[in-house]
Chains A and B, each alone.
Chain A
C-alpha cells in the first residue's frame, strides 16, 4: 500500500487536503478529501443582536463577503417580518450583480485560467495569474484588472466598502444612492458587458478551439452524475438574489422546488470523522454514501447546476451563450464538472447585463430604501446563490432580537461530497499502474476540485491558508519512496 498526500491543495479559497491510497497493484484503492479547520460561526453568532450578524458573517469569507452579507440581510428581514421596499431590493441586487461579476472574474482568470491558458502540466512557478498575463498580453490583462475593479467600485459606491460591507439593515439598506451615482454606474455596466463578450471569446480561443481541452472536459474522469440545485425566478430563469430553490435529478427532471424557508424539509447534513466539513444531501433520497446516480442523495450547487436547474437565463446575451453551451456539451443536464468554467462565463454575462438593467432603472436612486420593522423578531431564513452555490442563513432570536440559534449551509458545503467524489474519479483517471505521477498529473487531480471554485473558508466558516504542495509517496512502513515538490 502506498499513499499520496496533497497538502495543502492550491488555487482555491481556503484549505483542503487529499489522501490517495494506492493498492499493491498500483491502482487507486481509495481517496479521501479532508477539510482541516473550523471556526464555529454558528456558535459565536449566539448572543449577538441579530441585526449585527450581517456585519459579522461576511468575515466568514473575504472573497465572497457580499454573498454572506445579503443572505444574512434577507434572513434578518425575515426575523423581523419586514419586506424591504422595491428600491432596497433593486439596490441589493445591483450590488450583488457587481459582486458576482468581480468574483467570477477572479476565479476564471486568476484561479482557473492557468490550467488552460498555460496548460495543466506547465511549470508550476508560471502556473498563476502573472503567467497568464504574460501569455495573453498586458492589453487583456489590463482589461481583467480594470473590470474586476469595476465590480469592486460599484459595490463600494453602493455600500461604502467593497469588501466587508455593513449596509443591509432590517427592512432595507442603510443608505441609498444619488441620481448622479446611478448615472456613473451605467457606463461601467456597459463596459462590463463588453468585457463579458471578450471573456466568451477568450474561452472560445483558449479552450473550445483546442480539441484536447474539449475532450478533457467531456471525459469520464471529469464527469459526476448527481442532482442539480439552483435558485430560479418566477419564470424559472437563473437568479442570484432571490427566488425558489429548484432541484432537478440526474436526468434533468424537476424533483423539488421550494421556498428557502422550507430548506430543512429538503436538505440534511452528515458528519464524517475524518473531515471538519459536513456533507449535505437531499433528505428525500437519504444518504446512500459517496455514490453517483438517481438514487443517491448527493447533489451539487454550482454555476453548472444553476444552469441545469433553470429553464434559461433572464437576459438576451447570456441566454444565447446558454443555448450555445448546451448544444456544445451535448444537451441538458450536463454532468461534465469542468464545464463549470464555461457556465461561470455565461453567468458573468448575465451579471453584467443585469447590472445594466438595474442601473438603468431610476427607482434604484429613489429615496425609499428602507422600511423600519415593527414586528417582534423571531426566526428567519435567507437564501441567495453565492458565486459558489446556494447559500442559506437561518437565525432564531429571543423577543429582543438576540440570537439563540444560527445555522448556515454555504455554497461550497453543498458540494463537499461531489468534490470528494470528483477528486477520486480524477485520481483514478490520471494515476496509471506502475507509473510515478508527475506534478502535472497531480495538478490534473486538483483541477477536479478547482472546477467547483470551492471556498473552504466559507464552508468551514474557517480558513487556514493555502500554499503550494508537496506529494510524498510512502511505503506502508513510512519509508519515503517518491517526493514531488511543486
Chain B
C-alpha cells in the first residue's frame, strides 16, 4: 500500500506549531513510515511550484498553522484547500486567530505608524513607510499586501477539523492525526486532539466555593500552588477554555489564557469568560461590584487573548472620522 501524503504549512504564526511536531522526537521517524511528506517548509525543500503541480485532492492530510494576515497567506490557504482531502486548522492561530489576532484591537494604520515612525529607536525623518511597490533603477520591488484584519483559517476556506493549542500538545495531536489518517473520522468540523469539557473540569487544583471580593494580579501576588487560581482572585481563563493541554500553565502556577479555545457548545470565548467572572463576584451592591471588577486589568485583552478574530465582534469596531 502506498503511503499517505502529508503537508505541513505555516502562515502567520510563529513556528511553535512546527516545533511541536519536531517534539515527537524519535517518533518523527514514525511519521516517515506512515506518510510521505509533500510539503513541510521548515524541514524539507518542497516548493509552491510543486504544490501547484499536485492533482487536486491528492494530499491526504494538510496541517495548516498560522492565521491569515497577508495576501500570500490567503493564497496558500486556497491552494492547500484545493489540493487536500482533509484540511486541519492546526494550533491556536489557524483555529481561533491566536496572539497575532490581538492586532485586531487596532487600526492597521496605527500598527504601521507605531513600528516605523513612533518606535523610540527608529530615526525616520523622511517618514518612510514600506510600500507594496518600490521603483529602483533596475526594476520594481514588491511586497505582499497586509490585510487590516487578522482572520482564522475557516474565515477564508472550509476547514475539516480543528486541532487547538498554542502549540498543540503533541501526543494528543499525533493521536488525532493518525486516527484521521486511518479513516476514523469524527463528524466534519469537529475539534480533535482535545477534550469537550472546560479546563476546570480536568484541573487538579483544590476547589471550594468561588466567591470573589477582590481580584489580584500575579505581578504583585504569589499564588498558592494547590488552590484554584480563580478562588485566589487571579483571573484564569479555565472556565471558558477547552481542556486538553494537560493544564501546563496552571501547573506552572500561572493562570490559563485560553489557547485551546472555547469548550464544546460555546461560541464566543471572551463573552463566556466575562459571564463566568461576573457570576463569582461576591456582592449584590452595584457600586461594590463595579469596584471589584475594576481591579481586572485589560479584560478584553485577557478574555479574548487568543480568540479575538473568531469572536462575534472579530475585533475592535472603529469609529471612522469624517
B-contacting residues of A (Cβ < 8 Å)?
1, 3, 8, 10-11, 13-14, 19, 21, 29-30, 32, 34, 36-40, 42-44, 46-52, 55-56, 59-63, 65, 80, 106, 110, 124-125, 127-130, 142, 145-146, 148-149, 152, 159-167, 169-170, 174-175, 263-264, 267-276, 278, 280, 370, 372-374, 377, 394, 400-402, 405, 407, 409, 457, 462-470, 476, 485-486
Contacts and interface: CB of A to CB of B under 8 A. Distances in A.
Interface stretch (B152-160, B186-194, B218-226, B274-282): B218-226
Interface of B: 9-20, 22-23, 25-26, 28, 32, 39, 41-51, 66, 69-70, 72-73, 76, 98-100, 102-103, 105-106, 110-112, 114-116, 119-124, 128-131, 134, 136, 138-139, 141, 143-144, 146, 166-167, 217-222, 225, 248-249, 251-254, 257, 259, 297-298, 301-302, 305
Contact of A43 (B11, B114, B138, B259): B114
A278 B116 contact: yes
Contacts of A170: 219-220
B166 A269 contact: no
A162 B25 CA distance: 13
A169 B51 CA distance: 44
Nearest to B139: A3
A59 B14 CA distance: 6
Given A145-B25, A268-B122, A271-B116, A276 B143 contact: yes
B136 A32 contact: yes
Nearest to A439: B45
A457 B139 CA distance: 27
B43 A467 contact: no
Contact of A270 (B15, B124, B219, B257): B124
B11 A465 contact: yes
A190 B7 CA distance: 37
Given A62-B16, A274-B134, A405-B120, A159 B47 contact: no
A163 B25 contact: no
B136 to A, nearest CB: 7
Contacts, number: 288
Contacts of A124: 45
Contact of B121 (A50, A59, A263): A263
A346 B266 CA distance: 51
A160 B297 contact: no
Given A47-B301, A166-B252, A270 B123 contact: yes
A269 B123 contact: yes
Contacts of B23: 149, 152, 162-163
A278 B122 contact: yes
Given A43-B110, A62-B15, A466-B42, 5 more contacts: A19-B141, A30-B138, A124-B45, A463-B10, A467-B46
Given A273-B129, A402-B298, A407-B121, A51 B25 contact: no
B172 to A, nearest CB: 15
B115 A42 contact: yes
Contacts of B297: 49, 400-402
B10 A465 contact: yes
Contacts of A52: 298, 301-302
A433 B184 CA distance: 58
A278 B117 CA distance: 11
A356 B172 CA distance: 32
A60 B99 CA distance: 9
A366 to B, nearest CB: 15
Contact of B41 (A46, A405, A465): A465
A370 B222 contact: yes
